[in-house]
Amino acid sequence: MKWAGGKRWLVSHLIEIWTAHTHRRLVEPFCGGLAVTIGLQPVRALLNDINPHATNFYRWLKRGLQVKGDIEFANNPHLFYAQRTRFNELIASGSASSAEAAALFYYLNRTCYNGLCRFNASGLFNVPFGRYKRINYERDFTAYKGPFKHWEFTSGDFEKVTIDADDFIYADPPYDVEFTKYAKEDFGWTDQVRLADWLAKQRVPVVLSNQATDRIVKLYRELGFKLKFLKAPRLISCTGDRTPAVEVLATKNL
């Protein structure tokens, strides 16, 4: 999946840390596009995200999703807006956990502008059509059934995630920037502070990544985290700016 702030580029850095903890369950309170978990390949994982449509898609992958022929995928604006309308109808009617909704979420993610995942205050998907010359679509996801077997998917606030003594936490919240509306709910500075306090209280290994804004650096440094700074590629930008952003990797209890 395409995902704003995706961390595929960070996997090589995280493997260096994860290697000593592979016996643990990997917990991601903000699993997003799932790039880190797929990259680290833990045997056990608890993967949570505030966006219920992403986790619904992953739950159907775990069941070996195969998209039926009557659900059309094409890089076409007329089809895109028709499928977006249908997806929002499923949300409004309480059918957002269906296989059809999972398939449409995948299609919209692949086809929409910059792969953004954005919802309005009513919880409806509102990203416009993208600008891709060519898109490859998958319809058979049975290959994910095996690797996902011992991965549990939940959707909700990070503080509702239950942490066990043998867990390893990797937290990648929305960046400390103006745009944070990846779900119906926003994620503002109060939530950044709440997350930092929650992570600091955990007794298991913790790794946090975020954009290295002055206040994020100050927040985690004062809570006793060790900080490492990396240059992150800017893969999705509404302005076309690809200047590397400075990211902080904050660790505790390693």
- Residues contacting residue 171 through CB under 8 Å, at least 6 positions apart: 28, 29, 30, 158, 195, 199, 206, 207, 208, 209
Alpha carbon distance 96, 89 (integer Å): 9
Residue range 8-53+144-252, CATH number:
3.40.50.150
pTM for this prediction: 0.90
Domain residue spans of the chain: 8-53+144-252, 77-139
Q: Is the pLDDT of residue 234 over 80?
A: no
The pLDDT score that the predictor gives to residue 238 is 47
* Domains 8-53+144-252 and 77-139 are alike in CATH topology: no
Alpha carbon distance 221, 199 (integer Å): 13
Average pLDDT over residues 130-147: 95
**pLDDT tens-digit profile of 203-224?**
999 999 999 999 999 999 999 9
The pLDDT score that the predictor gives to residue 187 is 86
Tell the CATH superfamily of the 77-139 domain: Adenine-specific Methyltransferase, Domain 2 (1.10.1020.10)
Average pLDDT over residues 125-152: 95
Other beta carbons within 10 Å of 136: 7
